Structure 1
């Protein structure tokens, strides 16, 4: 029992903390060995031609802000094109997009899912680079430049931007937890990118070389992740640029965030099954190491081991196996006690971040278990759903002071 406890504890620790420490050390060593860091095109007129694709479903409350934000992005005017796809929208979204002659509107009444809409949009693309961004996010002014400068290096096939969560005075469990998670996730992505390649991209903001786009099946849940991982599997690098960032509100509440996380978890299992060739360390030595450490453990083994670690620590404490086990048991008891407190405080709309972060951690891991079950049962649809956010970003100034 002790051996299994330490194995389980090691996997949990490595997944959430250990990989970050190891990755940071590897990057520091690489910096010492590498004589110079790569440089990329910074001349404005030398940037590649680019198409921005926005897939929007019933985003009438946000779409004007998204369009205005998109048209204000700095980029050579003769090298930029905008495509908005509004398939299945039943509100005023298509009509509102149609008011802007600068934007190519693609709309059809059938709601076949986001990836079907993206496939249709890609048939209209003739530029060297494509940038994908969600309809409910706003980008910083130089986002396109910061993404596209990398394509002067032929080894780079995709570039991911940074996702930022807006957290003002109204921050609650979903905002605090999601914000903290994305801060840590962004650090891991920066180090992953510097060591070798980013393991997957987020749909809020990422770009690819157009000629590397590979259609994924229409039932794909995490299309953005799959598209970028196919590019990595072809031997190209996926880089991360935090100076290109997409800002969005946190989920309306933890219930909405849970719904989103369950969908992501189901998509994670689907991705692991379909990308199983990338788990081969002999064919993809560094990529497989990063993929397993950063993604696969989070989506499979570790959430199962969390309750196992707690139960085994409790048993070892009861059987008086030593003060170390008692300390580990009480430490977990305090952590999960704070999670319960976070749950109770959220229901009463009270704001105590020290309790919200353990609560969010537990919700996130419960979502993985629920997502596994949903995937096995075949109950997760790939048709995109609009997430409920706290409010639109209409009056929000995008700057670092307002981000988590």
Structure 2
């Protein structure tokens, strides 16, 4: 029981903090030996197509179009495709007003990937960039992404997600903190070898490396990028290409999003099971297991087990150290519960929202796992509401 306690504690610590510490020191050593990596220049940029799938985005689409048209890129090398399949509001009508945009629309709603695949089949450029309809890119985002394709080993490039927190009164205040930490891990992952998957807010791939993912894919952006990484190509992280979006409207919406990601995470682990063996791509497998697999599978259950074991060990009077650990766990979960209570009253004390957000994320993983195993998670696009 004591051994199980320490093993559980180590895995939890490693998954959320230890891996980051290890990465930090590996990168320090790598830079001491090889020097800091030099960013490629923006000369000889490839032809590129920006693809935006928009479902009932009447609220954001006009601003998204204007943002896309203002992106800096050499004239004649950038195409814009907007797909509005299944939209029942005014989204399609708004897009149709802009002749600069290739507009694809079908009244049928078959899911995001079915819509994206229709667009991809028409692409004739070297690179494709995907971005969400409710996110807004910095002016040099496409330039900063596409400059990396001068390296033939680069198969995909992931941009940065930035969460705009304004007057946050709930656990979504933790969303910004979480993404800042995740962004730093991605910088180090990329420098070591490769980012472990890309987020749909902003990422790109070489067109000739793209593989159609199954229509049943839940987190298609992650699968698309990881299928390329599995072939031996790197996924680079580019923090100077960023997509800005507001936080989830409330905790309920954020939880819905996290449950879907967790269900998709388990699906991806099953589909990408070859990456669990380090024989073909050892560094990628190490990063994948450390950064994704542990968080998406065992860690939330180990957190529950750790608390139960801790209570038993204190009851059995195994030593003062277990009393200290139990006090720490009680305090942490107490802060999380207090954050949940404050959220219900819309009281702004952000210190309680980080443990609350952390617990909510892990609860979402458990729900997502059971939802996927029960077959109740649809691949049909059901976006979370934003502020």
| Bucket of the pairwise TM-score, normalised by the shorter protein | over 0.9
Contact 1:55–1:84 (8 Å) recurs in 2: yes
Matches within 5 A, 1:329-348: 329-348=326-345
Deviating 4+ runs (over 2 angstroms): 35-39, 172-175
C-alpha separation between the residues in 2 aligned to 1:305 and 1:351? 31
Once the two structures are superposed, residues 177-234 of structure 1 have per-residue CA deviations (whole angstroms, 9 ceiling, x without a partner) of: 1111101110110000000000000000001111111001000001000000010001
Please name the residue that 1:370 is paired with.
367
SS at 2:18 equivalent: helix
Q: Provide the rounded CA distance (Å) in 1 between the counterparts of 2:243 and 2:37.
A: 26
Which of 236, 255, 260 is residue 257 of structure 2 equivalent to? 260
Written as runs of structure 1 = structure 2, the 5 A alignment for 1:264-275 is 264-275=261-272
CA contact (8 A) 1:265 1:371 kept: yes
Corresponding residue for 1:398? none
Correspondence for 1:290 among 270, 287, 290: 287
Following superposition, the deviation at residue 323 of structure 1 comes to 1.1
Report the Cα distance in structure 1 between the residues aligned to 2:87 and 2:298, rounded to whole angstroms.
Answer: 38
- The alpha-carbon distance between structure 1 residues 39 and 242, as it changes in their structure 2 partners (threshold 3 A), is closer
Deviation of residue 35 (structure 1)? 4.4
User: CA offsets per residue over residues 314-367 of structure 1, 9 Å max, x none?
Assistant: 111222211110000000100000000000000000111110111111110000
Query: Which residues of structure 2 form unaligned runs of 5+?
Result: none
Q: Which moved more, 1:30-39 or 1:54-63?
A: 30-39
Q: Is the 8 A contact 2:172 2:357 kept in 1?
A: no
- CA distance, structure 2, for counterparts of residue 192 and residue 36 of structure 1: 14
**Residues 257 and 383 in structure 2, CA contact (< 8 A), matched pair in contact too:** no
Aligned to 1:48: 46
- Deviations 1:61-92 (CA, angstroms, capped at 9, x unpaired): 11001000111110112101000001110000
Measured after TM superposition, the shift of residue 242 of structure 1 is 0.4
Give, in angstroms, the shift of residue 3 of structure 1. 0.6
The two structures have a TM-score, normalised by structure 1, of: 0.95
* DSSP-derived class of the 2:171 partner: helix
- How many residues align? The count is 387
Structure 2 matches for 1:156-175, cutoff 5 A? Answer: 156-168=154-166, 170-175=167-172
> How high is the TM-score relative to the length of structure 2?
0.99
In 2: Cα distance, 1:174 partner to 1:215 partner? 36
The aligned counterpart of 2:14 is 14
C-alpha separation between the residues in 2 aligned to 1:269 and 1:386? 19
